C-alpha cells in the first residue's frame, strides 16, 4: 500500500507579475517619484551588455544588469534616499488590471463554497514569481492574498570581512541607509526553481532541499495541481516545466493590443500554453472563467482520486452466498 507523507490537497496558482497582473512594469512609481524617464533608463540597461563588452568583458549576466544599474542610480544620487522601506511604500502605488486583487479572494471563496471540497481539505494558494522587485510587490494591494513572493531583493549593507566574529557588524537591513547590494535575483530561467520549491514543499519545510529527490507521492503540491499564469515568451521555461509535468498554463495579453494577442496566440499554437485571454480578471471575462474552471477541475479530480483510492483499499463487502 502506498502511503503519502502529505495530503496533496493544495491547488497552487503561480503568477508572473509585470504585464500579467499589472499593465506595465512595477518600477513606474519609482521612476515617477524621482522624475526619471523610464524609456531612457531601460535604453541604458539594454545597452549595458555591449558597453561591458566594449570594455573587455567576456561573460555578462544580462538578466541582473538592471538591478545593478538601479544601484548605480542610487550611488549617483538619482534615486536619492532609496531603501527597502521606500520600495515597499512605492509598491502601494502599483495599479492592477481590472478585477484585481478581488479575483484572488473570489476564487478562494468559490472553492470553499463547495462542501465536498472542504471535506477533503482542498485549499488554494497564490504565489508570485517575478524578476521584479520583491519589496514593491509586498507593498502592493495584492500582497495580503499571496502565500509567498519570489522576486529580487536588495540589502542596505553587506557582510564585512570578519563579520562572523565582529559584533559591530552593521545590520543588513536599515531604513536609515541606502540600497547597496543585490542579495537575491530571479530571472526567466531561475523562475523554475521557485516552481520546484512549491512542488516539493521546500518553501514550507526548509529541511527539504529543492535539489533532493522526492517521490511524486511525497511532494506537497503535485504539478497537476498547479496553474501558471504569465504574459509571454520570457515565461516559456516555466510554461514548459509546469505543462510538461501535467500542470496547466494560461497566457494573458494587454486588452486591445494586437501585438500581444499575436504573441500569446503563437504560444498556444506552439503548445506552450493551454489557453489565453485578455488580462482582465473581472467576473465573466475569459481569464476569470478559464482559471476558475481549471481550479474546479483540479479540485474535482482530487476528490475523485481519493474516492477511488478509498474504495480500492476498503474492498468489496462480503455478500450473501446462495446454496
Residue 323 in any domain: the answer is: no
**In this structure, are 101 and 39 located in the same domain?**
no
Residue 69 structural domain: 35-79
**In this structure, are 41 and 102 located in the same domain?**
no
Residue 117 in any domain: the answer is: yes
**In this structure, are 219 and 247 located in the same domain?**
yes
The DSSP 8-state label assigned to residue 270 in this structure reads: T
**In this structure, are 71 and 123 located in the same domain?**
no
E strand or H helix at 304, and its extent? helix 286-314
Give the per-residue pLDDT at 11: 97
User: Does residue 323 have a pLDDT over 70?
Assistant: no
**In this structure, are 188 and 251 located in the same domain?**
yes
Residue 306 in any domain: the answer is: yes
Task: Report residue 1's pLDDT band, with 50, 70 and 90 as the boundaries.
Answer: very low
Residue 265 in any domain: the answer is: yes
Sign, Cα dihedral of 57, 59, 63, 67: negative
Q: How far is CA 45 from CA 136, 171, 315, in A?
A: 20, 30, 64
Residue listed under C-alpha cell 527597502: 84
The mean per-residue pLDDT over the stretch 182-197 comes to 94
pTM for this entry = 0.91
The mean per-residue pLDDT over the stretch 81-103 comes to 98
User: Does residue 2 have a pLDDT over 50?
Assistant: no
Residue 29 in any domain: the answer is: no
**In this structure, are 107 and 75 located in the same domain?**
no
Give the per-residue pLDDT at 3: 46
Q: How far is CA 102 from CA 98, 142, 249, 282, 292, in A?
A: 9, 9, 21, 9, 13
Residue 85 in any domain: the answer is: no
Give the per-residue pLDDT at 166: 81
Q: What is the pLDDT of residues 293-302, one digit of tens each?
A: 999 999 999 9
Residue 303 in any domain: the answer is: yes
Beta bridge partners of 126: 13
Q: What is the pLDDT of residues 229-241, one digit of tens each?
A: 999 888 999 999 9
**Based on the structure, what is the number of domains in the chain?**
2
Q: How far apart are CA 16 and CA 115, in angstroms?
A: 31
> Which residue pairs, CB below 8 angstroms and at least 24 apart, start in 265-271?
267/232, 267/233, 267/236, 267/239, 271/243
User: Does residue 6 have a pLDDT over 70?
Assistant: no
Q: How far apart are CA 88 and CA 153, in angstroms?
A: 11
One-character DSSP codes across 200-267: HTTTT-TTS-TTS---GGG-SS-GGGEEEEE-SGGGHHHHHHHHHTT-EEEEEE-TT-HHHHHHHHHH
**In this structure, are 108 and 66 located in the same domain?**
no
Q: How far apart are CA 55 and CA 28, in angstroms?
A: 30
**In this structure, are 39 and 146 located in the same domain?**
no
Residue 233 in any domain: the answer is: yes
User: Does residue 92 have a pLDDT over 60?
Assistant: yes
Q: What is the mean pLDDT of the chain?
A: 91
User: Does residue 311 have a pLDDT over 90?
Assistant: no
Q: What is the pLDDT of residues 128-181, one digit of tens each?
A: 999 999 999 999 999 999 999 999 999 999 888 888 888 777 888 888 899 999
Q: How far apart are CA 201 and CA 17, in angstroms?
A: 22
By mean pLDDT, which of 5-14, 46-55, 56-65, 297-306 is the weakest? 5-14
Q: What is the pLDDT of residues 24-46, one digit of tens each?
A: 999 999 999 999 999 999 999 99
Q: How far apart are CA 21 and CA 95, in angstroms?
A: 9
Task: Report residue 316's pLDDT band, with 50, 70 and 90 as the boundaries.
Answer: low
**In this structure, are 72 and 48 located in the same domain?**
yes
193 is written with which cell numbers? Answer: 526553481
Q: Which residues, 6+ apart, have CB-to-CB distance to 285 below 8 Å?
A: 98, 99, 277, 278
The CATH number that applies at residue 282 is 3.40.50.1000
**In this structure, are 139 and 218 located in the same domain?**
yes
**In this structure, are 213 and 259 located in the same domain?**
yes
Give the per-residue pLDDT at 278: 97
**In this structure, are 264 and 308 located in the same domain?**
yes
Q: What is the pLDDT of residues 253-282, one digit of tens each?
A: 999 999 999 999 999 999 999 999 999 999
Amino acid at each position: 500500500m502506498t502511503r503519502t507523507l502529505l495530503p496533496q490537497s493544495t491547488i497552487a496558482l503561480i503568477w508572473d507579475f509585470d504585464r500579467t497582473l499589472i499593465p506595465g512594469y512595477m518600477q513606474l512609481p519609482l521612476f515617477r517619484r524621482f522624475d526619471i524617464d523610464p524609456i531612457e533608463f531601460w535604453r541604458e540597461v539594454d545597452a549595458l551588455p555591449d558597453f561591458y563588452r566594449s570594455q573587455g568583458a567576456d561573460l555578462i549576466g544580462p538578466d541582473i544588469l538592471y538591478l545593478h544599474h538601479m544601484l548605480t542610480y542610487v550611488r549617483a544620487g538619482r534615486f536619492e534616499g532609496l531603501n527597502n522601506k521606500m520600495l515597499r511604500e512605492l509598491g502601494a502605488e502599483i495599479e492592477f488590471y481590472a478585477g484585481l486583487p478581488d479575483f484572488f479572494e473570489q476564487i478562494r471563496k468559490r472553492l470553499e463554497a463547495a462542501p465536498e471540497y472542504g471535506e477533503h481539505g482542498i485549499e488554494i494558494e497564490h504565489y508570485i514569481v517575478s524578476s521584479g522587485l520583491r519589496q514593491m510587490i509586498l507593498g502592493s494591494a495584492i500582497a495580503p492574498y499571496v502565500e509567498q513572493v519570489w522576486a529580487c531583493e536588495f540589502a542596505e549593507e553587506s557582510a564585512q570581512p570578519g563579520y562572523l566574529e565582529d559584533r559591530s557588524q552593521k545590520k543588513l537591513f536599515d531604513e536609515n541607509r541606502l540600497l547597496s547590494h543585490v542579495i537575491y535575483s530571479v530571472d526567466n530561467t531561475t523562475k523554475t526553481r521557485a516552481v520546484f520549491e512549491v512542488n516539493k514543499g521546500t518553501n514550507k519545510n526548509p529541511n527539504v532541499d529543492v535539489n533532493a529527490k522526492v517521490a511524486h507521492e511525497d511532494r506537497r503540491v503535485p504539478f497537476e495541481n498547479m496553474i501558471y499564469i504569465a504574459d509571454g515568451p520570457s515565461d516559456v521555461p516555466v510554461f514548459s516545466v509546469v505543462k510538461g509535468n501535467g500542470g496547466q498554463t494560461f497566457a494573458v495579453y494587454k486588452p486591445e493590443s494586437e501585438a500581444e494577442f499575436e504573441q500569446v496566440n503563437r504560444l498556444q499554437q506552439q503548445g506552450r500554453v493551454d489557453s489565453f485571454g485578455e488580462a482582465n480578471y473581472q467576473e465573466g471575462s475569459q481569464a476569470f472563467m478559464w482559471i476558475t474552471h481549471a481550479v474546479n477541475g483540479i479540485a474535482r479530480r482530487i476528490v475523485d482520486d481519493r474516492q477511488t483510492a478509498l474504495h480500492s483499499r476498503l474492498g468489496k463487502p462480503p455478500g450473501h452466498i446462495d446454496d
